[in-house]
Amino acid sequence: MSVSARIAVRRGTLALDVAVEVADGEVLAVLGPNGAGKSTLLRVLAGLLASDDGRVVVDGAVWDDAPAGTHLPPHRRSLGVVFQDALLFPHLSIAENVAFGLRSRGAGRAERRAAADAWLDRVGLSGSGDRRPAQLSGGQAQRAALARALVGEPALLLLDEPLSALDARTRLTVRAELRRHLAAFAGSTVLVTHDPVDAMALADRVVVVEDGRVVQAGTPADVSRRPRTDYVARLVGLSLLAGTADGGTVRLDAGGAVAVAEEARGPVFAAIRPESVALYATRPDGSTRNLWRERVVGATPHGATVRCELDGEVPLVADVTAASFAEMGLAPGAEVWAGVKASEVAVYAR
Amino acid sequence: MPAPLLVPAALGVAFLVLPLIGLLVRAPWSAIGPALARPEVGEALRLSVVSASLATVLSLLLGVPLAWVLARSRVRGRSVLRALVTVPLVLPPVVGGVALFLVLGRQGIVGSWLDDAFGITIPFTTTAVVIAETFVAMPFLVVSVEGALRAADARFEDVAATLGADRWATFRRVTLPMVAPGVVAGAVLCWARALGEFGATITFAGNFPGTTQTMPLAVYLALQRDPEAAIVLSLVLLAVSLATLLLLRDRWLGRAAA
């Protein structure tokens, strides 16, 4: 393990207490809602904030050891940080920005310029070295900020919501580029984000932080298929139902029951994807084992479909095509039947 | 525009501009050349410019770090410190002069020691002029630079730290360049205030032609014996002030803002 950290910080109402490990070349995404403590975690790793308790060890070097009173200041850590706003120094040219960290280490002018040009080339900004930050678009500025963070070949790269200030189109291209650069990066990366797409697209592993605690950890695929909290379920668009399994039936904690195809026992989660939920205006005939009377409480357009929030015996989210939505008259308040095949319900231990 | 605002505003403009126009109207234009050629005028002007410039340099050397401490550090009692630093802004300059005299005069706490140990006497020297001007003018610089530091985005300093710059390097390479327009504006204000300094200077440094008689002192004395000369000297001060303001606005402030 290249980065091994346990961090405890108390700031106002936030009590952060998390442990993370990141291997060389690995990208760890820290996913969580605003105010969960993600940025605080990042600031402690960067040394900009002292941890009240815990230890940060990177490549065998102790960066923080709160009980022992050790705190390496940020400028002595082998770091690269990309913030949400690129934060390029406005008084320096793009090349000077990129070479800033090399100058801190006493590299000569020619060496700095050569390294800056090479990195600008790698991030697709060749020829922009003499421009000013104000002359760059948001996507270009974020590319330059990435080059600035990576030029010193740091042991640890920290990305703080690096894509969230970009417009949707730019975000797609910059995300794809970032993925390429992260794959080529030899050190460890910690990516802080509230966007599950960033986490899924960029990370090898995901930890979900809520209220200062790690509530779930795993591969992106695992976290998105088997969410363990409502927050994660909502992010990945699943309906998450907690209950107790007894063979082919899950009795839900909130009342009601779900028939499942897989045999299971004990406390479980049942997760249902919105596209697996079929809506009917009248009670359908057939073999669907899960059939509930529901009321539409909310509807939002979601690509070519409309995502309907349903309440009733079992709270559900359902995707229907815009055409069916109109034909069935599914305004909020409408009563419908919702059917889910038992084989479409994922069951996993709590 | 509503009259209750417009009329007082117009009166305000008249109040500020009319005296200057009066100065221009009464100026004995033909006498300007000979008046400026008089050696004591040239001497007073040179002394004023040199001492105000030295006071500004001294204020920059001490005031910019002081502004940084007030804006960025977490020193305890910072608000008390800020209040103390800005006292000279509201203190009557004469009182400042008296206070300086009590501390740096021959019998003063620091002055007597300087005299005993090094044989240095400060009052009634050009050094005293510079000290008096610095005392009165430095708060203008401190307030201006501190405001610029507070307005500057401190996240850039975090970025510099993560790129290996210690706090001193961060100050030199990031903070100072970013607040440069504020420092320039503060220095201009400070210089103009030092150039016009009268009360503290005459109290602490006296009024000796060639060593401590700056332009404002020369104007005041001239008004009593030779009002025409006083007008000429006033015009020179007005011209220097306006020229500085315009020059610096176009040269530095304008470019920094663009």
pLDDT, tens digit, for every residue of B140-185? 999 999 999 999 999 999 999 999 999 999 999 999 999 998 999 8
| B69–chain A nearest CA distance, Å | 19
Check CB contact of A100 with chain B, cutoff 8 Å.
yes
Contacts 24+ apart (CB under 8 A), A168-177: A170/A137, A170/A138, A170/A139, A173/A139, A174/A139, A174/A142, A174/A143, A175/A201, A175/A202, A177/A123, A177/A124, A177/A143
The pairing of beta strand A27-31 with beta strand A188-193: parallel
**Chain B from 176 to 195: CB within 8 A of any A CB:** 177-178, 180
Please tell me which residue of chain A has the smallest CA distance to B156: A87
- Range of weakest confidence among A83-87, A206-210, B25-29, B134-138: B25-29
The closest CB to that of A83, out of B155, B174, B178, belongs to B155
Instruction: Report the candidate in B240, B125, B252, B250 with the shortest Cα–Cα distance to residue B194.
Output: B240
The closest CB to that of A48, out of B156, B158, B169, belongs to B158
So what's the pLDDT on residue A281?
Answer: 86
Please tell me which residue of chain A has the smallest CA distance to B174: A89
**Fold for domain A3-234?**
Rossmann fold (3.40.50)
Interface contact A100-B160, CB threshold 8 A: yes
pTM over 0.80: yes
Check CB contact of B159 with chain A, cutoff 8 Å.
yes
Token pair of B64, please? 């910019």
Domains in chain B, number: 1
C-alpha distances out from residue A134 to A90, A98, A117, A129, B206, Å: 7, 15, 19, 13, 53
Give DSSP secondary structure letters for B91-103. Answer: S-HHHHHHHHHHH
Instruction: Report the candidate in A334, A283, A290 with the shortest Cα–Cα distance to residue A308.
Output: A334
The answer as to whether B102 is a domain residue is yes
Chain B residues within an 8 Å CB radius of A87: 153, 155-156, 159
What pLDDT digit, counting tens, does each position of B51-62 carry? 999 999 999 999
Check CB contact of B174 with chain A, cutoff 8 Å.
yes
Check CB contact of A349 with chain B, cutoff 8 Å.
no
Chain B residues within an 8 Å CB radius of A74: 158, 161-162
Rounded distance between C-alpha atoms, residue B4 and residue A341, angstroms: 77
Tell me the pLDDT band of B257, cut-offs 50, 70 and 90: very low
Secondary structure (3-state) at A269: strand
Please tell me which residue of chain B has the smallest CA distance to A88: B156
Tell me if B115 sits within 8 A of B121, measured CB to CB: yes
The answer as to whether B123 is a domain residue is yes
Chain A residues within an 8 Å CB radius of B170: 75
Q: What DSSP designation does A250 have?
A: E
Rounded distance between C-alpha atoms, residue B119 and residue B114, angstroms: 6
Over range A296-316, report the average pLDDT: 88
The CATH number of residue B209's host domain is 1.10.3720.10
Hey, of A76, A87, A157, which one would you mutate to test binding to chain B, going by the most B CBs within 10 A of its CB? A87
> What ipTM did this prediction achieve?
0.82
Over range A141-169, report the average pLDDT: 93
Check CB contact of B164 with chain A, cutoff 8 Å.
yes
So what's the pLDDT on residue A289?
Answer: 84
Over range B102-119, report the average pLDDT: 88
Token pair of A320, please? 């229907």
Position A88 pLDDT exceeds 90: yes
Please tell me which residue of chain A has the smallest CA distance to B161: A75
The closest CB to that of A101, out of B164, B177, B178, belongs to B164
Determine the structural domain holding residue B187 and report its residue range.
Answer: 41-257
Token pair of B68, please? 């940084």
CATH number of A237-349: 2.40.50.100
Interface contact B155-A81, CB threshold 8 A: no
Interface contact A89-B165, CB threshold 8 A: no
Check CB contact of B240 with chain A, cutoff 8 Å.
no
The answer as to whether B19 is a domain residue is no
In angstroms, how far is CA B36 from the centroid of its own chain?
Answer: 24
The closest CB to that of A152, out of B164, B169, B180, belongs to B164
Interface contact A89-B156, CB threshold 8 A: yes
The answer as to whether B29 is a domain residue is no
Position A286 pLDDT exceeds 80: no
A305-312 β-sheet, strand order:
A278-280, A335-340, A290-302, A305-312, A316-321
Chain B residues within an 8 Å CB radius of A47: 161-162
Hey, of A83, A89, A132, which one would you mutate to test binding to chain B, going by the most B CBs within 10 A of its CB? A89
Token pair of A45, please? 């790793």
Over range A240-245, report the average pLDDT: 91
So what's the pLDDT on residue B252?
Answer: 54
Pairs across A and B, CB distance < 8 A? 65
| A40–chain B nearest CA distance, Å | 14
Over range B195-204, report the average pLDDT: 93
Interface contact B165-A104, CB threshold 8 A: yes
Amino acid sitting at position B146? E
The pairing of beta strand A278-280 with beta strand A335-340: antiparallel
Chain A residues within an 8 Å CB radius of B161: 47-48, 73-75
Rounded distance between C-alpha atoms, residue A9 and residue A114, angstroms: 41
Share the mean pLDDT of chain A: 91
So what's the pLDDT on residue A78?
Answer: 94
Amino acid sitting at position A302? H
| B55–chain A nearest CA distance, Å | 28
| A100–chain B nearest CA distance, Å | 7
Q: Where are the domains of chain A?
A: 3-234, 237-349
Over range A14-19, report the average pLDDT: 91
A13 vs B159 pLDDT, higher one: B159
Position A31 pLDDT exceeds 60: yes
The answer as to whether B25 is a domain residue is no
The answer as to whether B83 is a domain residue is yes
Check CB contact of B78 with chain A, cutoff 8 Å.
no
Hey, of A85, A91, A103, which one would you mutate to test binding to chain B, going by the most B CBs within 10 A of its CB? A91
Position B253 pLDDT exceeds 60: no
Q: What DSSP designation does B172 have?
A: I
- Adjacent-strand bridge partners of A265: A246
Region of A138 (left: φ > 0; alpha: ψ -120 to 50; beta: rest) is alpha
Tell me the pLDDT band of A62, cut-offs 50, 70 and 90: very high
- By CB neighbour count within 10 A (0-12 exposed, 13-18 middle, 19+ buried), where does B84 fall? exposed
The closest CB to that of A105, out of B153, B159, B164, belongs to B164
Check CB contact of B61 with chain A, cutoff 8 Å.
no
Position B251 pLDDT exceeds 70: no
Check CB contact of A75 with chain B, cutoff 8 Å.
yes
Over range A269-273, report the average pLDDT: 92
